[in-house]
Structure 1
């Protein structure tokens, strides 16, 4: 082989390596769409019939508003704020830069932007389930843009970016986004729920009433679809490098898909078993699969799978307990998002500090993983989510924009916001369910339909 032929062969090989990177993240992004199909299905199922389509439309619109806003400013935030709240030059991430459009010489920016945009949409969907059946669509979309294209990616800049201050100062380790996605979104949802208030009839004389899903099988199928989507989500958290480097975590330390496969499946199984032991309830048991994966996600690259299973069992057992505690505080989290994502995300980051303390960080000069660094990092993630969630929802509440009026809530959001009927061939279910206020108290006629 002549030197010219060798050089041509090398160039072709490098081109195919770059194309393989693109293909990998292309399919990770496609699989992540299953997360949102799952959220749509399980939130429709978890709602009462009168709110089913409104819950579904929120999930469709989540993707529609996060994708463009993440393009116009979310990706810039990630690149501009690794050092804190003072931006650095990130002109290459501005929407009018060359890299933010078709460019045959750039085979990375678009696919990484797409994967991160899907992470952002996931934070919005986490919020969506918690607030079903009483939030205004407009308020929800405002809050979704804030968390999906602003808050979580700021946390990502701090804890994921190669120059992120949490990484360089604390040795923060969170390869599967337990903190930067789940803890942030879960505590953002908590801040919103405090101002949003419970659904009508959820608490009677201080006692929590059950407002049951209208289609539990659909909710369970939706949760299983989210698990499928998680394989795309976690695949997007691993770096497919060309050349001799191979797979690394987002921090640059060596890993591979086998490590993620071992620990993702063990996390799912442990979470389901733990939640079943703690609750015996189908929805909580299936939610335990999410709880287990989130509990171990931060350390997918370093955990022994046997340890992963037991840590996930702990996450699955404690998740329903935290959910009940949140409910006892008078907070109506309709799907347990605060417990599943907020608590388990926080727990996942802290557990790395317990079981992987001393593991070296790859960026030169970054400290090793420590318990203190992980604990402080987890607290920062929770606070970063909670403060804007609480503050912006409080502002919307003061402006009368956060929650639908009581008569609309009692009649059902579908009648007001969605010009369609979910099950037109079925006998209509009662608009006012047992345990909620009677129709006359809500200013409605007996059939619960406005304008009758």
Structure 2
């Protein structure tokens, strides 16, 4: 009998160990596919930005986007992941953060650690997405090297510091103010939008965007269908992005990044309702397919802070409100001489700010864990101001230094000729599409004239 009990105990222990390892493997698989889906965001950004460019700049826009991804991932490995682990309490280095240093045993193949690499990969894709938000706004006139430096600063330093503060279970914005931002409306989108605004103030508008009297010329996208398809791909990728925002706990309930109970079902309800609300808001305001899809993204961002708690019709209403307001914000900026080629500041900066604020307006009192303050309007406004400043100040300061050094923007003749002719050794459309040759109106600062020449 004793032998049978001993054997039974060994079998139970083996079953428990097997179940535990199964849960660990399932966690790895979940975040693996979230990361894979997030790469679709970059396929979307690629199509979106190339379509939004004029034909003479299309490959330069695509090259810039590809290189941003390629530079942000390794720099995030070398210092971005450490920043997230080191600074949740502010600027004091947290105890134990050395495990995130690039030479740590956790930062590579390790049979005793199934978590670090997969979480690092998800965050690295969050970082690359954040950097790419700035990319579309500055097309057709920024120097490639200047953009890459700015992308590394935004993707591997600035946003992840904001995430340490407001998207971390020990982040001081949550610990002290109850800040709640499960889908990173503030920690990704608001920071990236504010950083982009800082760059645009120094970069200036594209040549020909404004006339001498201040009137505005439309520098039209060469392929609106490509931009719309790109935006839809971004939406597909956002299901990976938002899936990566929830914590898989084997054998237990999901939690959000703050440790509060959550479900993927709530994320599914509210992501789709926010998305469709944003599309309808954009349609009501503009009737423009580009803005309808952009506002669908605004709708998701607007609902993102509270994806775990919204009643789905409220997520729809929040998304629709964001979709109505974002084109108005874009027009407001354009009339003030800020040339945002794809509306990134309105879509991400405004959308992120509205998402953070909506959480305070409609979910105040939602309880926190471990004795931390409940969600409040005050806490959300504090988070909004802190994250907005964290994005804007370095974006403006670094681009101002670059402008003063003469390395921020391409020369005027290169911009008029088109960046593809100078930066890219192949042609986007060698057959059937013409390039626009510079005309006298270009030299006068007006709109590029329709003066077609065969692509060489």
Which category of TM-score, normalised to the shorter sequence, fits these structures?
Answer: over 0.9
- Per the alignment, residue 413 of structure 1 pairs with 419
* Aligned equivalent of 1:231, options 236, 239, 249: 239
- Residue 269 (structure 2) aligned to one of 251, 262, 268: 262
**Normalised TM-score (structure 2):** 0.95
Which runs of structure 2 are paired with 1:71-150 in the superposition (5 Å)? Answer: 71-89=77-95, 90-150=97-157
Equivalence for 2:58: 52
Corresponding residue SS for 2:366:
coil
Query: 1:427: how far off?
Result: 3.8
Give the equivalent residue in structure 1 for 2:222.
214
Give yes or no for contact 2:98–2:104 (8 Å, CA) kept in 1. yes
Matched residues in 2 for 1:132 and 1:63: separation?
16
2:242 counterpart SS class? helix
Q: Give the C-alpha shift of residue 58 in structure 1.
A: 1.1
| CA 1:437–1:66: 2 relative to 1, 3 Å | farther
| Structure 2 Cα separation of the partners of residues 162 and 257 of structure 1 | 19
Q: Secondary structure at the match of 1:29?
A: helix
**Consecutive aligned runs of 4 or more in structure 1 exceeding 6 Å deviation:** 446-449
In 2: Cα distance, 1:277 partner to 1:79 partner = 43
In structure 2, C-alpha distance between the alignment counterparts of 1:37 and 1:183, rounded to whole Å: 22
In structure 2, the partner of 1:250 is 257
Q: Does structure 1 residue 317 correspond to structure 2 residue 336?
A: no
1:48-105 residue CA offsets vs partner (Å, 9 max, x unmatched): 0000000001111111000000000000000111111232231100000000010011
State how far apart, in whole Å, the 2-side matches of 1:160 and 1:74 are.
14
Q: 1-side partners of 2:144 and 2:401: how far apart?
A: 16
Q: Is the 8 A contact 1:58 1:128 kept in 2?
A: yes
Answer yes or no: is 1:166 the counterpart of 2:173.
Answer: yes
- Quick check: 2:329–2:350 contact (8 Å CA) kept in 1? yes
Q: Please, which of 376, 391, 394 is the counterpart of residue 388 of structure 1?
A: 394
Mapped contact 1:432–1:448 kept (Cα < 8 A): no
Q: 2:443, 2:429 → 1: CA distance?
A: 22
Q: TM-score, normalising length from structure 1?
A: 0.96
Distance 1:393 1:280 in 2: 35
Q: Which residue of 1 aligns with 2:442?
A: 438
Cα deviation for residue 432 of structure 1 reads 3.6
Confirm or deny: 8 A CA contact 1:439 1:448 kept in the other structure.
no
Aligned length: 444
CA distance in 2, matches of 1:439, 1:36: 36
Distance between the aligned counterparts of 1:341 and 1:365, measured in 2? 32
Q: CA deviation at 1:428?
A: 1.8
Q: Answer yes or no: is the 8 Å Cα contact 2:434–2:452 preserved in 1.
A: no
Picking from 179, 182, 189, the partner of 2:186 is 179
Where do 1:343-362 residues align within 5 Å?
Answer: 343-362=350-369
1:288 is aligned to 2:288: no
Preserved contact between residue 18 and residue 107 of structure 1 (Cα < 8 Å) = yes
Once the 2 structures are TM-superposed, how far is the Cα of residue 440 of structure 1 from its aligned partner? 8.5
Q: Is the 8 A contact 1:35 1:229 kept in 2?
A: yes
Corresponding position of 1:61: 67
Distance in 1 separating the partners of 2:368 and 2:433:
60
Deviation per residue, 1:269-300 (Å, 9 max, x gap): 00000011111112111101100000000000
Q: Does 1:400 align with 2:406?
A: yes
Residue 32 of structure 1 corresponds to which residue in structure 2?
A: 38
Separation in structure 2 between the aligned mates of residue 201 and residue 441 of structure 1, nearest angstrom: 5
Aligned mates of 2:20, 2:183 — CA distance in 1: 28
User: Structure 1 regions of 5+ residues with no counterpart?
Assistant: none
Q: Distance in 2 between matches of 1:151 and 1:187?
A: 11
How far, CA to CA, are the matches of 2:437 and 2:81 in structure 1?
43
Superposition deviation, residue 439 in structure 1: 5.4
Q: Counterpart of 1:429 in 2: which secondary structure?
A: strand
Shift in Å, 1:212: 0.6
Q: 1:161 to 1:402 in 2, by over 3 A?
A: same
